[in-house]
Amino acid sequence: MTTKIAVLPGDGIGPEIIAEALKVLDCLQAEFGVPIETEQALIGGAAYDATGTPFPAETLELTKKADSILLGAVGGPKWESLEYSVRPERGLLGLRSELDLFVNLRPAILYPQLVAASTIKPEVVSGLDIMILRELTGGIYFGQPRGRRINEKGEREGFNTLIYSESEIRRIAHVGFQIAQKRNKRLCSVDKANVLECTELWREVVIEVGKEYPDVALSHIYVDNAAMQLVRNPKQFDVMLTDNMFGDILSDCAAMLTGSIGMLPSASLDRNGKGMYEPIHGSAPDITGKGVANPIATILSLSMMLRYSLDDAVNADRIEKAVLSALDSGLRTADIYSEGTQKVGTTEMGNAIVSALRKSKQ
């Protein structure tokens, strides 16, 4: 059966990096017979310019019909003065909530070829391979009531609500345990159960769900300690499971362990495993149009798509090996360049990965 992929290039470097990922998809189709059909739609600033909204109805329609979604990035200075409801980022948030993409998977992998690109000592980060699961549609970013008001002393005050229902915790906990089963069978749940009742419930429910996965070793850590341990000894973790806000912060911290934001893919999944796949970085307005953006995070997002939504580990592995082979040959985009390697642009990196992928057939 043909897999339908909705492709949303977005803004800034989005179209540049998506063009390279599409070459990889073409190669999978031509060389390995993977039946794929792609259709593109507008999102973010590009959609606002063309239609007056960052999240057109046709885009939602296409993404609902598709088996999977590949997104570039949204946003940029051009749209920063717009009112919140039509900012490019609303397109992304709209997609996440309309499609109920409640779990965000962010691997942080340090490729041996890039150990020198990390700001952390090589012995601490070499071989790093962790997966952070962040809850994406609940918690303090969405809880009501929220807002700003003047209190009885006449002072301004701001308030938000941290709230999770049992079922919201349970569904992401199941995903966490299942992903741990496919990896090294260790799940660490991050909370602040000593201070926040909501995360006390988080811990309680994760323990209950854990009883269904006796093969996975479950541990718990307070978020402040988790931040410290991520920098001190990140390799102690396999899968980390956490809420929306803690996950937001910890996953950026973990990303930096690996040196460049241009290397890291992500997936946001619904309860049936349908997902939106995108690089973790933004639209990089400072390098847009210069042909220097690193396409690897986007290409690795495709490999995550094959692995987590399309159940095609063989071709997911092929893409990852092709990326490693391009790095092995010494090619580097500017963000991962170090002395003794060869600096190349977006297209050359994409072409090198496609050529390695093609060669892997022989």
Q: Which residues are catalytic?
A: 141, 192, 224, 248, 252
- In terms of C-beta density within 10 A (0-12 exposed, 13-18 middle, 19 or more buried), how is residue 324 classed? middle
| Contacts of the segment 147-151: beta carbons below 8 A, 24+ positions apart | none
32, 55, 189, 243, 310 from 169: Cα distances, Å: 39, 28, 11, 9, 25
The rounded distance, in Å, linking the Cα atoms of 226 and 34 is: 40
Q: Which of 113, 199, 258, 283 binds ligand NAD (CB under 6 A)?
A: 283
**Do residues 327 and 113 make contact, with C-beta atoms less than 8 angstroms apart?**
yes
Q: Which of 284, 326, 352, 353 binds ligand NAD (CB under 6 A)?
A: 284
Size of the site for ligand NAD (CB under 6 A): 22
CB of 299: closest distance to ligand NAD in angstroms?
A: 11
- Residue 18 touching ligand NAD (CB under 6 A): no
CB of 261: closest distance to ligand NAD in angstroms?
A: 5
Give the DSSP per-residue string, 303-315.
HHHHHHTS--HHH
Q: Which two tokens stand for residue 288?
A: 């847009």
Per DSSP bridges, beta strands 275-279 and 36-40 are unpaired
The rounded distance, in Å, linking the Cα atoms of 144 and 125 is: 39
CB of 332: closest distance to ligand NAD in angstroms?
A: 11
- Residue 60 touching ligand NAD (CB under 6 A): no
- Residue 20 touching ligand NAD (CB under 6 A): no
CB of 99: closest distance to ligand NAD in angstroms?
A: 15
Given the rule CB under 6 A, which of 53-61, 129-137, 177-185, 291-299 is the region that contacts ligand NAD?
Answer: 291-299
Q: Which of 7, 25, 34, 74 binds ligand NAD (CB under 6 A)?
A: 74
- Residue 344 touching ligand NAD (CB under 6 A): no
- Residue 265 touching ligand NAD (CB under 6 A): no
**Do residues 324 and 353 make contact, with C-beta atoms less than 8 angstroms apart?**
no
- Residue 56 touching ligand NAD (CB under 6 A): no
Q: Which is nearer to ligand NAD, 75 or 139 (CB)?
A: 75
Q: Which two tokens stand for residue 79?
A: 């749209």
Q: Which of 261, 345, 348, 358 binds ligand NAD (CB under 6 A)?
A: 261
- Residue 47 touching ligand NAD (CB under 6 A): no
- Identify which of 304, 331, 337 has the alpha carbon closest to the alpha carbon of residue 320: 304
Binding positions for ligand NAD, rule: CB under 6 A: 13, 17, 73-76, 89, 92, 261-262, 278, 281-287, 293-294, 297, 335
